[in-house]
Amino acid sequence: MARLLLPVFLIFSVFLLMRGHDSPGGGFTGGLVASAGFVLYGLVHGPRSVRRALRINLKPLIGIGLSIGLASALIGPLMGRPFFSAYWWKLPFGPKIGTPAIFDIGVYVVVLAVVLTIMLAREEREA
Amino acid sequence: MGAGGSLFVTVFLPFLAALAVPGLGRMFGRRLGTVLALVPLAILVLHLPRLATRVEAKGSIPWAPDLGLSLAFRIDSLALAFVLLIATVAAAVFPYAGAYLGADRRFFATLLAFMGAMLGIVLADDLILLFIFWELTSVTSFLLIAHHSERPEARRSAQQAFLVTFVGGLTLLAGALIIGHEAGTTRLTELPDTVRATPAYLAVVVCVLAAAFTKSAQVPFHFWLPNAMEAPTPVSALLHSATMVQAGVYLVARLDPFLGGTLLWTDALTYVGCVTAVLGGLLSLRQYDLKRLLAYSTVGALGLLIAAIGQRAWGAFYGFFIAHGLYKAAMFLVAGSLDHGGGSRDVRTLAGLGPKMAVTRGTAIAAGLSMAALPPALGYVGKEGLLHAASPLLIGATVIYGATSLAVAALVALRPFRKGVPPESAHEVAGGMRLGAAILAALGIALFPLAPALGRVFVGEPFALVAPGGWSLVTWAAGVGLYALWVARSPQGRPSTFSMDRLYDGVRRNGFTLAAFITRRVQHGYLNGYVRAVFGTLVVLVAYGIARALPTALPRELEAPTFYEFALAVTMIVGAGAAVVSASRLAAVAALGIVGYGVAVIYVRFGAPDLAMTQIAVETLTLILFVFTFYYLPKPQRRRNPGPRLRDGIVAGAVGVTMTVLTFIASAMQNDGKLNRFFSENALSEGKGRNVVNVILVDFRGFDTLGEITVLAVAGLGVFALLRMPKRERGGGPSAP
């Protein structure tokens, strides 16, 4: 049952992330919901299976999230504009994407990685 | 940007290369050092043409215009000299390091980062930017000195170097901020001359000189440099002879047009520089370890450079700076080769290596010529320049230092190769190690005939190739005498009745004792003690604030609660009560959950869905975490005396009352709603989003959020580290029941 629920949680969390800019949601909430999904999975199948399901090591994932956030802020200087300047591009199939949205993705990843690090920290094996 | 673009490339290319090191390491294996030498070579190629054409260039990107911060770079003749020296020495050191240390990815990434930071210092046009790169060199230097981190000596020396130079960096920041305040800008190319006249001048000079003297190992801050020899030899060659320690010299030279010309400036630089030169030179002769010999010699050379700036003897400065950078780096590499191939760094015992290490010997002699200031080496031009200075103090210091320099040169270049019996395993070192050192030494000779041209580029007038004056002869003679003295007396051990090094140790030890004492008193291990302390302080401070605001702040009209709100409040209160009185931990946790979810419902009721979702998620995860943790705790004990419960109850009650009163007052305060209106109106047009909360988080106040996720990341890593620490006896009692 948990195996079925995890993808649902993950899809919902991404949904929350994407709609965050116009409706309730965003990176923090999305990340929390995603980590809740993994925690539920872990309650049923054990912590080791969570790490397997994630496929990426947690501590580097924290760094990746921070890097994504920082990279979105550095797009400005790369174009000769101030740090954290916002850029928006219109995609052909509808939604708009911009540096704040990329930043939000970074937030999502960091929240997910940190929460899982804390929840899984007590098990014996290295991540 | 145009011409300025090359400056950005120069500074950031090493950092990008550092990021690519893991991949490059996999691709090139043992050749990593040689491949990475392409980075400094590229920089060299980029800037060498400036010697012949226009030297000046600028470029900048606005970073935070409201704060006046920009990513601004500028190159001129001073910066060019440093850039060329850094790139040349680095190009020689990288292949050497590759042969010396193999393909150590962590090492090379740090070394590249260091190089980028060093280039950043000399090319930065903004004082704050310069400060950032300054501290970055301190950090990378720390990592590099402690490379052999299993050795306690290495760790201690790295810590010492870092503490001394980092504190200096902080004074640099202070100085930069004062300058910014007085001059209205922190852009170096826009600083007015008027800073000299303001009352803050003294403070600025103190700050700047503190930074420069700590970084460039001037007396009394010189003690960290000899200890930094714990670093691998390539690091000593690059950082602690030719580049990092020169950062202080650069700073002083760079700020001289704005801060110099006064008696304070001139005297401070001249006296400190000369004392350092003499002390460094004389102390070097008490050493017998090759690297420490060279380290003290470097201290002295830095002193001479500082004094030269004080006297504004620019020709002498540039000449000596270039020559010293080349020969000192070469000498360090030779020392490393002798260590590697000859098996020892002790000059008292090294002998007979001439036949087996011919290339190293040739390199050592070439570099030694420059170091001893003998023609036809560039060092001769440099020293001659100093000896023709106007100040007798500077001349005297140069004579003394020059004599010691010659003696040390002889010790490194002649003594290990003299007639004798080498150890069985003696061998010449690998090509990579020979090549770099040889090129640096050869440059010292090759540039000699070019000296006049160099002078024209950097100072506007050619360096004169004159015949040796009287002082030169005195210096040489004294140098020979000192060498003979050293050989006859053969120093026994590390010196000094009074040593700054021991003073540092004492301060550090006492600092740790004090810290341990405080920690034992404050961190007693009782969780409810911590909570009481935190909440108690909170109550006292907030109550004080409330008491001051009370006469004027009146709670506004209160609406009557609806039925649902009332029911919600009652439920939460019951839950809180149950948490307090229940005997079972799990029941208490569940009751707390009622309160938490109640808060989420409040958020929904009052129109904050994002907060509500976050609250529910966090509450759920926290409950799960509690349950997991409590599983391992022993059963709670029944308390017999009511005393502690009463005390805890009072604190808890006080917190509740205080926060309630605070909430009333806060909601009653006049709020003109300007911020509210700004955000609601601009969220869609500027932030392109309808969810104002989210737009604020990731756009308007994005920088705050960046800080928040960084804190989150650090907290997560901290929890991980705490829970994974090896189990050992913990002082202190049980945690809360």
3-state secondary structure B391-459: CHHHHHHHHHHHHHHHHHHHHHHCHHHCCCCCCCCCCCCCHHHHHHHHHHHHHHHHCCCCHHHHHHHHC
Quick one: closest CA in B to A127, which residue? Answer: B720
Listed by number, the residues of chain B in 46-65 with a beta carbon closer than 8 Å to a beta carbon of chain A are 61-65
pLDDT at B175: 92
- Contacts of residue A66 in chain B, CB cutoff 8 Å? 709-710, 713
- Judging contacts by C-beta atoms under 8 Å, the chain B residues touching residue A36 are 617, 620-621
Provide the shortest C-alpha distance from residue A93 to chain B (in Å): 18
pLDDT of residue A90: 76
**B34-47 b/e with 16+ CB inside 10 Å = b?**
bbbbebbebbbebb
pLDDT of residue B297: 93
Contact B208, B134 (CB under 8 A): no
Nearest to A29 among B65, B610, B720 (CB): B610
d(CA B253, CA B243) in angstroms, rounded, equals 15
Beta strands in A77-126 (DSSP E): 88-90, 96-98
Predicted local confidence at residue A98, as pLDDT: 83
Contact criterion met (CB < 8 Å) for B64 and A83: yes
- Per-residue pLDDT for B629 more than 70? yes
**Cα distance between residue B232 and residue B92, in whole Å:** 15
Helix (H, G, I), strand (E, B) or coil at B582: coil
Q: What is the mean pLDDT of residues B705-714?
A: 93
B73 φ, ψ to 5°? -125, 155
**pLDDT band at B492; cut points 50, 70, 90:** low
The amino acid at residue B215 is: K
Name the CA radius of gyration of chain B, rounded. Answer: 33
pLDDT of residue B555: 60
CB within 8 Å: B687 and A100: yes
Q: Is residue B331 over pLDDT 70?
A: yes
C-alpha angle B661-B662-B666 in degrees, rounded to nearest 5: 120
Phi, psi of B649, rounded to the nearest 5 degrees: -65, -40
Are B9 and B39 contacting, i.e. CB atoms less than 8 angstroms apart? no
In the predicted model, what is the mean pLDDT of residues B22-49?
A: 87
Q: Cα-flanking dihedrals φ and ψ of residue B58, to 5°? A: -140, 160
In this structure, are residues B586 and B630 in contact, taking their beta carbons and an 8 Å threshold?
yes
CA separation for the pair B64, B68 (Å, rounded) = 6
pLDDT of B480 over the 50 cut? yes
The answer, yes or no, to whether residue A124 has pLDDT greater than 70, is no
**Coil vs helix vs strand at B341:** helix
CA distance A64 to chain B (A): 11
CA distance B86 to B80: 10
- The pLDDT tens digits for B651-685 are 889 999 988 888 877 777 766 677 777 887 777 77
Q: What is the mean pLDDT of chain A?
A: 81
Instruction: Identify which has the larger pLDDT, B130 or B626.
Output: B130
- Chain B positions touching A28 (Cβ under 8 A) are 610, 614, 697
Most confident of B283-292, B557-566, B622-631: B283-292
Shortest distance between the Cα of B504 and any Cα of chain A, in A, equals: 37
Structure-token pair, residue B169: 């960096």
Residue that the structure tokens 């760079």 belong to: B254
**For residues B21-29, average pLDDT:** 85
Contact residues, chain A, for B62 at CB < 8 Å: 81-82
pLDDT at position B633 is 74
* Pairs of CB atoms within 8 A across A/B: 138
φ/ψ of B696, rounded to 5, equals: -65, -45
**How far apart (Å, rounded) are the C-alpha atoms in residues A34 and B724?**
25
- Write down the mean pLDDT value for chain B: 85
Q: Do A29 and B720 touch (CB under 8 A)?
A: no
Sign of CA dihedral B250, B252, B253, B257: positive
For residue B296, what pLDDT band results from cuts at 50, 70 and 90? very high
Local confidence band at B552 (pLDDT 50, 70, 90 cut-offs) = low
Is pLDDT above 80 for B686? no
Candidate from A33, A62, A77 with C-beta closest to B713 = A62
What does the pLDDT average to over B415-441? Answer: 82
User: A88: which 2 tokens?
Assistant: 């928006």
What is the percent of chain B where pLDDT is above 90?
A: 28
Give me the pLDDT at residue B495, please. Answer: 55
B716–A21 C-beta distance less than 8 A: no
Q: Are B331 and B377 in contact (CB under 8 A)?
A: no
Least reliable range by pLDDT among B126-140, B268-282, B478-492: B478-492
Query: What's the whole-number mean pLDDT along residues B703-707?
Result: 90
Using pLDDT thresholds of 50, 70 and 90, give the confidence band for residue B557. Answer: low
Q: Give the closest of A23, A24, A110 to B713, CB-based.
A: A110
Q: pLDDT-based confidence at B551, cuts 50/70/90? A: low
Specify the 3-state DSSP secondary structure of A96. strand
pLDDT tier at B493 (50, 70, 90 boundaries)?
A: low
Are the beta carbons of A16 and B613 separated by less than 8 Å?
yes
| Phi, psi of B630, deg, nearest 5 | -70, -25
Taking a C-beta distance cutoff of 8 angstroms, is the pair B94, B36 a contact?
yes
Please provide residue B208's backbone torsions phi and psi, each rounded to the nearest 5 degrees: -65, -45
Looking at residue B266, its amino acid is: T
Query: What is the pLDDT at residue B171?
Result: 95
DSSP label at residue B385: H
How far apart CA B369 and CA B371 sit, in angstroms, is 5
Quick one: three-class SS letters along B306-338? HHHHHCCCHHHHHHHHHHHHHHHHHHHHHHHHH
Residue B560 has pLDDT above 80, yes or no: no
Distance CA B459, CA B731 (A): 65
Mark yes or no for CB contact B697/A28 under 8 Å. Answer: yes
Q: Cβ–Cβ contacts within 10 Å for residue B90, how many?
A: 31
Give the model's pLDDT for residue B721.
86
Examine the pLDDT at B736 and tell me if it is beyond 60. Answer: no
Q: Do A36 and B63 touch (CB under 8 A)?
A: no
Question: What is the length of chain B?
Answer: 737
The pLDDT score that the predictor gives to residue B382 is 85
pLDDT at B729 > cutoff 60: no
For residues B228 and B224, give the distance between their C-alpha atoms in angstroms, rounded to a whole number: 6
